[in-house]
Structure formats: C-alpha cells, structure tokens
Structure 1
Amino acid sequence: MSISIPRVTEKKRWLIISHAFNMDGRAASLTITDKIPYFLNAGIEPIVLSAITGVKDHRFPHYQYLAWGPAAFRFDFRHWVANKYGRGFIYKLFTRIVSILLAPLIGLEKLALGYSSQWSWAVPAFINGLRIIRAGKIDLIYSTGGAWSAHLAGLWLKRVTGLPLIVEVHDPLVIRKDPNDQGFEKPKNRDARFRHYLENQLTHFSDKVWWFTDGALHYAKVRNANLNTPKNAHGFVVTPGAQPPGSLSNNRAHQYTDKLNLCHFGSLANDRSLSTILRALIPLFQKYPEARDLIRVHAYGAPLDSLSVDAIEKFGFSDVLLAHGRLEIDPLTGKSGRQRVAEKMQEADVLILLHGNDEWCAEYIPSKFYDYLWTGRPIWGITHRNPQLDQMLLDRGAYLSAEGDSEGIAMGLERIWLDWQAKQLIEPIWKPIGVDQAVSTILTHMQVR
C-alpha cells in the first residue's frame, strides 16, 4: 500500500548527524539511510555528518570525521581499514598495531571518563556542524542514533545556534533494572549516568523527539513530564520499518528440503542466546530421535555468545548449530552483505527472533524483525514483556514463545517440527512494514507540507 508523504516546502536544508551512516547491514545505519530516498523525494536537502566507518554518499554533501578519543578512533579505524582493504592480512596487521599503540590511552580514557567508546565523535561533529551552520546552509538539525554522541553534538548545536532540533532515539538511553524501576534513580555507572542526563536534556531542548516503541515512549514520559505537554519537546513513536532487504519486494514460494533449517540473523549475547534453542532440542530429540539428523540451527551475522558455545560442547551439538559469521560484500558476485543476508533469510524454514531477557525488552523491538517481515518466512519469536511486539507477530502469523518459559519454548519447537514434517509450516500474512510510513509519520508530526 502506498503511503502519502508530505512535501517539505520550508526549512528544507537538514543537517543529519549520524555516527553510523552507509555501514552495510548495520541497524544503526539502515535506520537513517533507508529514509534518505524518501526525504529527497519530499524536497529535503540533506547534509550528513558521520564517522568514517561507512561508504561516502555522493548524492548530497556527506562529511566523514574521525573521532578524537582513542577508543572511538580504534573502532572507526578498524571499519575504515575493512572497507578499504577487506578483513585479510592488511586488516589484521594494521588494526593490531593501532590497538597496541592506543591501549595505554584507551585505559586512561576509561579511567578518567568511563563513557562508551563513541562519545568523543561528538566533538568533531559539533565543530564542523557549527561551521556549516554559520555558513548559512542549514535550517534544521536532525540527530539519529545509535551512538549517543550524535545526540550530544545535536544538543550542543541547538544550544549554540538556536536552530530547530529533531531527535531520533533508536534504543532507550535509560536502562531500567526491573518492572518496578521507572528509571528515576541516577545510575552509578558513569556512562549510564550521562545517558540519563542526556535524555533529560533532549526532552527539554529538542523541538521534536521520538522513540521506536510504545514502551520506550511510555517510560520516557514517566521520567520527563514535559513530554506530556504541548510545550517544549513533543514525544511520539515512529515504527522504523525497513526497506526490502536485498531488493526483495514480494513473497517467494518456499521450497522444503531434507533439513529443517532454523536461522537466526544478527547479534547474540548471553541475554539473547541460541542456547535457549539448543536446550529445547534435548526433549525433542528424546521424543523424536530422527530429528537429531534433520534439524539444523544457523547463526548469521555475529560470533556465538559464550552460553551457546558452552551448550554446543555440553550437548555435542557442533553439527547442529552452524555459525556462519557476518556476511560481507562478495567481491566475486558484487552482492552486498545485505543482499546475501536476504537470500539466506528466504532459504530458511523458520526465522528465529530472540528478544532477550532484560527489562529493557519492554522498550525494544529487534531491528531484524522488520527485515524478517519482507522475507515471507514464518518467524519464531521468543519475546519478553513486550505486548506491542507480540501483537505484531500474532497479526502476521508466527510461532510465539515467552522467554524464560522452557516448557513453552520446547512445545513451540515441537510444533515447528511437526508442522515441518507435514510440510505445513505457518504461512505468514504478508504485512511488511516499510520505511515510507516512518518518514510520513515524522513529517506529519512536524506539520510540514
């Protein structure tokens, strides 16, 4: 369905501040880069400030800057070398030398400040953003992240220049500990304490600010009363959606093979671990011994977490869980990492969506979910305290389990196994969420025509 996007006729020159921009396959990058074509069609004239970690965009002015702190410099340098030379010998040599040289400075930086590594990128973003603004080339500042350094730079520019500031918060800045924690208590961790302060400043000084889930907006409003009034910042929700990954635009018919392939894409951690799936395989294999040779779990996009590694060793599942790592651009075919990921998604029998088990799941929806919706494959969501995500899954047809409910997860896996054997896996309802609706929501809230 085509979404109507308002046309921008005033305040068209936007300074977009995004640490991650044009980074192949990175969620923090795709969230903004996927919007760019729609912004251009709406009449917006962007100037982008980013780190050197992505590919330079030549459709509009795009300035890339190194961070000034040693930890962020090391991070950015690694990605720059990978983009330029690949991840072979040169990458390993250069990055190892730089890591050794910077190690003492990184230690001092952590000891003195204790902030996350990307904080220092705010400094060159602010200095160069101010230069561009004073040249009279900007009507509005738009910070998006991802790395909170983009928001810090945007806030500084707002305070100095008085230009309108709109803010896109990808993940909650304040991380609550449990359902009773509203996020009022000042954290002891210095980075968390600064993010707490930054959220308060953004809600007071930005002209528009939005989050990606109902839960994130709810708790931000609890902490920041001004979001409940028409004055100052106005908070709302934008569902980010996704462009069809790898140019997918329709639902391709699924082909059953001789294996049940359960595929996970994206990052893994001990609070979002494939060990959850491996443990559920134990009772299934006991009940259906033949399943041991027919089920395969595939992990794409990230190293395995330590709990998954331990489970593989404990259960002898080295042939069951196959870790493929990150899919980068293929120099032989020219396919981007995103295109290769899309192909692997459509080859899956079932896509695994691990939500996690932390309290912040109530405010977070994995960005990979929106890519999954374009593939036409059934999703097995293992979710935690997020009614919005549960409803989105159920509305489209999905297998749904609750994180921490080992019996329910085992039952969900058994249902998938039986459906696959009968060649009757759930046929999901084709309801992908595009980026056009996100852009329309943003521009409508800004009341531009």
Structure 2
Amino acid sequence: MQNRALLIAFHFPPQSESSGIQRTLSFARNLGSFGWKPMVVSAAPMAYERKNASQLASVPADIEVRRPLALDAKRHLGVRGRYPQLLALPDRWISWWLFAVPVALAMVRKHKPAVIWSTFPIATAHLIGLTLQRLTGLPWIADFRDPMLQVDFPSNPLQRRMFAWIERRAIERCTCATFTTRGALESYKARFPAHLHAKFQVIENGYDEQSFALDGAEPATPAGRPGQRPVTLVHSGVLYTEGRDPSAFLNAIADLRRQGRIDAGRLRVVLRAPSEIAYFQALVESCGVADMVAVEPPVPYREALREMLDADGLLVFQGTPFNKQIPAKIYEYFRARKPILGLLDPAGETAGTLTAAGFLDIAAMTSREAIAPVLERFINAIEDGSAHVADDELVASSSRTHRARQLAQLFDQSITSPAVPAGSRPVR
C-alpha cells in the first residue's frame, strides 16, 4: 500500500511561463515508483497569464488535481494595472490561500496523506503549506527552488518583511527544507541558527526522460555534424537586461565577423523565447548580427526539446545576480548530449556545475573580449567533432526520476521521525 503525499504547487500545467512546472510535474509522475501516491493542489487556470492546454496531457490521469480559485491582483483586481499593495502580499496570488486551504483540508480528511510538500517561488504556496501544517500536524517538506530573500529581492520593503516572516516560520516549522543548489543551502545556513541546519537538503532540478520519450527524441551523434550547414547554437528560455544579458555575446559575434573569423555561412544562433522579443530583436539589429542571430517566439515544451536535440551546441546565460542558482535547462542540456557554451559569472554555481561535468567552454557573460576566443574555440571543436558532451553517468544522475527518488526518501524519513512542532493541531 502506498502512502499519499499532498503537493501544493502554483506552477503546474496548463501554466506555461515557468520551468518550475516541470519540477512538480515530474514529482507527480515519478513518486509512485517509490511508494508514494501524489495528490496536487494547484491554482485555477485563470490565475496564469500564459497557458498551454497541451501541457495538461502530461499530467497522469490517475492523479487527483484540485484547482481552487486564485485571482491575480494585477489582472483581476486592478484598474489599468494598478492595485492596492495590500491585495498583493506576499504576492499577487494571496487570494489562492483563501480558497486552497479549505480544499486541501478536505483532501486531508478524505485521503489521509502522510506528508505535505509545498514549493516556492510563489510565496503563497508556502503560506498554504504553513497553514496546513499547523492545522493537521502532518510532516511538511518546504521546497525552496530559489532563496526567498535575495540582495535585491523583494525590493518593496513591506513585501520583503512578509517574505521574511513566511520564510522564517517555514524554516522553523517544516520537517525538512529542500534547495536546488548547494549555494542556496549554504546561504540559509549562514542566516539561520545551527540547530536548524539538519533540516536542509539539496534536491537539484533535472530533466524528465518521459518528455524526451514522448517526443520520440534521441540525440544526434555527438561527434561531428551533418553536411556543411552553419553551426547552430540555441538558447532556450528567458533572457533579461541584467543577469542574463546577451549583449556582450552578440558584440563578440560582431567582433569575430569583423576579423573575418566567422560569418553567416559558418554560424547561426537561435534565441528562443527570450520574453521581450521586440527588445532583443532590436538589440540583435543594433549589434549588426541579424543575419546570424534569430530571436524566436515560444514554442510548446516538446518542440523546444526537439530544437535542443537538433542543435549543434547549446548556450546558457547566467550572470552574477544568479550565482546561487542553476537554471533547470542545464539538466536538459546534459540529457541532449550536446556541447555547452557557458556565458556566466565564473564564480557562480552554474559555472562550477559545468566545470565539474567537464564543460570548460566558459566565459564571463559581460566581457565581449573574453567571449570571442571561447566562442571561436567552441565552434572549432563542434566542427572537428572534439566538443565535450555529457557521459552516461552524468545523464543518469541528472534525471528527475533520480530526484523523485531523493524526495521519496525524505518523505520516508519524515514519517518515521517527523519532529512535528509544538502548537500543531491535527485534523481528525
């Protein structure tokens, strides 16, 4: 007989803007293989600015998913985008808490789950988890995909105080707190008392083999490339003007072309779904590389995977503001078994992860002078078939199935020694 786990997650199909849906979705798919039957409390689809109905097909039919109402203060309660701050604390979806708690309590009474799991970066998810833990006394795993408090986030003082309160109470009352990177875990150790450190665990992001299998996708042979077409490099995902700024990279391409070292017949770059398409298209044009760099709109998730598999090399942008984070796409890049060019802060956790995995084509994201020789070396290695790709051991250890096993083990530990905080009131 399987134990049941109640998963609280805002990011879940059909939401399509955040890669976070893949973390919860993969746990929902894979926990059953390790003795745990998941149930999900997510949000009504109207809460999402961007939706992709095709994502719903990836949710297993035998998993109960409840979607209580969640209003977006900006879109549903505001006037011309303006809304009272009190309607958006700790975030714009605080109304979700009002409707999700009774729905979740009804599921607890009916199905008797043995553990609760909630996942940030929507702070309301942890507020729901905190409320449920207090009312039920159940063990609670609080998943911090990103640190709740960062140097410049949240910038609003009142929201920052609210985040700090939720974070502190979550760390104090949860059975275990999980993080996606070692750097994030260490930052929490630095801010919280030593007696809480035993709660902290790392469960990294990963890739979902089922997504690759559903696509019928197998990576091309890593060595070499077909024909004499240009080397195609792909970045799939959001870019920013700070932290993931491709400006220096685009200027490095322009520099190499002026030196006669590359041209449109040798290199093609695809920036897929960077969010502000018009802005980045204008940036590409201002750098004079529009014939070599294409800025493309979002596509369904499996089409994005197909594009990764068809590429000759993959790009990752991760600057200093994200030094304690590793983008989820890194693990998909590993599974694609393609060469990876890192435009990073060399002191960040993403750079350390790539280096440890043998990917040494790394350059400071903000330096066109540093990028140009690394980019040229990277292109040369792809052309002569010597570029490094992930080995079988790295691919296996990066799978979300492996991450689900780790989470199931934490669930097992939490019900054998739950250490429920005083003051909890079990639901009968």
Please indicate the TM-score interval, normalised by the length of the shorter structure: 0.7 to 0.9
Supply the distance in 1 between the matched residues of 2:71 and 2:286 (Cα, whole angstroms).
44
Alpha carbons of structure 1 residues 68 and 282: separation in structure 2 relative to 1, 3 Å = closer
1:13 aligns to what SS in structure 2?
strand
Q: Does 1:239 align with 2:204?
A: yes
Deviation track 1:21-60 (CA, whole Å, cap 9, x = no partner) reads 2347641111011122321122222221111336365312
TM-score (norm 1): 0.78
Supply the distance in 1 between the matched residues of 2:338 and 2:318 (Cα, whole angstroms).
18
Offset of residue 364 of structure 1: 0.4
Supply the distance in 2 between the matched residues of 1:111 and 1:446 (Cα, whole angstroms).
35
Supply the distance in 2 between the matched residues of 1:140 and 1:446 (Cα, whole angstroms).
7
Task: State which of 309, 332, 344 in structure 1 corresponds to 2:307.
Answer: 344
Output the amino acid matched with 1:174. Answer: L
Q: Does 1:417 align with 2:346?
A: no
Output the amino acid matched with 2:143. Answer: E
Supply the distance in 1 between the matched residues of 2:381 and 2:202 (Cα, whole angstroms).
36
1:365 aligns to what SS in structure 2?
coil
Residue matched to 2:92: 117
Deviation track 1:188-228 (CA, whole Å, cap 9, x = no partner) reads 53333322222111100111111010110111111111564
Supply the distance in 1 between the matched residues of 2:88 and 2:276 (Cα, whole angstroms).
30
Q: Does 1:372 align with 2:333?
A: yes
Offset of residue 269 of structure 1: 1.0
Task: State which of 406, 410, 413 in structure 2 corresponds to 1:445.
Answer: 410
Residue matched to 1:354: 317
Supply the distance in 2 between the matched residues of 1:239 and 1:298 (Cα, whole angstroms).
27
Deviation track 1:232-261 (CA, whole Å, cap 9, x = no partner) reads xx1111122121343277543153341121
Superposed counterparts of 1:426-445, under 5 Å:
426-430=388-392, 431-432=394-395, 433-445=398-410
TM-score (norm 2): 0.82
Number of paired residues? 391
Alpha carbons of structure 1 residues 303 and 188: separation in structure 2 relative to 1, 3 Å = closer
Supply the distance in 1 between the matched residues of 2:197 and 2:184 (Cα, whole angstroms).
17
Supply the distance in 2 between the matched residues of 1:302 and 1:323 (Cα, whole angstroms).
8
Offset of residue 187 of structure 1: 6.0
Q: Over aligned residue pairs, what C-alpha RMSD do you find?
A: 2.8
Superposed counterparts of 1:306-321, under 5 Å:
308-321=280-293
Larger deviation, residues 419-428 vs 29-38: 419-428
Supply the distance in 2 between the matched residues of 1:24 and 1:106 (Cα, whole angstroms).
21
Q: Do the aligned residues in 1 keep the contact of 2:308 with 2:336 (CA within 8 Å)?
A: yes
Supply the distance in 2 between the matched residues of 1:418 and 1:108 (Cα, whole angstroms).
53
Q: Does 1:59 align with 2:62?
A: yes
Q: Do the aligned residues in 2 keep the contact of 1:275 with 1:307 (CA within 8 Å)?
A: no
Residue matched to 2:234: 263
Alpha carbons of structure 1 residues 225 and 168: separation in structure 2 relative to 1, 3 Å = same
Alpha carbons of structure 1 residues 252 and 395: separation in structure 2 relative to 1, 3 Å = farther
Alpha carbons of structure 1 residues 57 and 63: separation in structure 2 relative to 1, 3 Å = farther
2:303 aligns to what SS in structure 1?
helix
Supply the distance in 1 between the matched residues of 2:383 and 2:400 (Cα, whole angstroms).
36
Superposed counterparts of 1:280-299, under 5 Å:
280-288=252-260, 290-299=262-271
Supply the distance in 1 between the matched residues of 2:103 and 2:285 (Cα, whole angstroms).
51
Output the amino acid matched with 2:120. Answer: G
Q: Do the aligned residues in 2 keep the contact of 1:204 with 1:226 (CA within 8 Å)?
A: no
Residue matched to 2:193: 225
Residue matched to 2:36: 44
Task: State which of 26, 29, 48 in structure 1 corresponds to 2:21.
Answer: 29
Supply the distance in 2 between the matched residues of 1:380 and 1:64 (Cα, whole angstroms).
40
Give unmatched runs, 5+ long, in structure 2.
Answer: 46-54, 417-428
Output the amino acid matched with 1:406. Answer: R
Larger deviation, residues 305-314 vs 365-374: 305-314
Output the amino acid matched with 2:147. Answer: P
Alpha carbons of structure 1 residues 188 and 251: separation in structure 2 relative to 1, 3 Å = closer
Task: State which of 9, 19, 30 in structure 2 corresponds to 1:18.
Answer: 9
Q: Do the aligned residues in 1 keep the contact of 2:219 with 2:309 (CA within 8 Å)?
A: no
Deviation track 1:327-359 (CA, whole Å, cap 9, x = no partner) reads 1xxxxxxxxx2221121101111100111331x
Supply the distance in 2 between the matched residues of 1:425 and 1:436 (Cα, whole angstroms).
28
Output the amino acid matched with 2:339. Answer: P
2:93 aligns to what SS in structure 1?
helix
Supply the distance in 2 between the matched residues of 1:129 and 1:445 (Cα, whole angstroms).
21
1:439 aligns to what SS in structure 2?
helix
Give unmatched runs, 5+ long, in structure 1.
Answer: 1-8, 75-98, 178-182, 328-336
1:374 aligns to what SS in structure 2?
helix
Supply the distance in 1 between the matched residues of 2:278 and 2:160 (Cα, whole angstroms).
25
Residue matched to 2:147: 172
Residue matched to 1:107: 82
Larger deviation, residues 238-247 vs 167-176: 238-247
Residue matched to 1:87: none
Offset of residue 289 of structure 1: 5.4
Deviation track 1:82-125 (CA, whole Å, cap 9, x = no partner) reads xxxxxxxxxxxxxxxxx7xx541852333664643233322211
Supply the distance in 2 between the matched residues of 1:69 and 1:343 (Cα, whole angstroms).
33
Supply the distance in 2 between the matched residues of 1:111 and 1:161 (Cα, whole angstroms).
28
Q: Do the aligned residues in 2 keep the contact of 1:355 with 1:383 (CA within 8 Å)?
A: yes
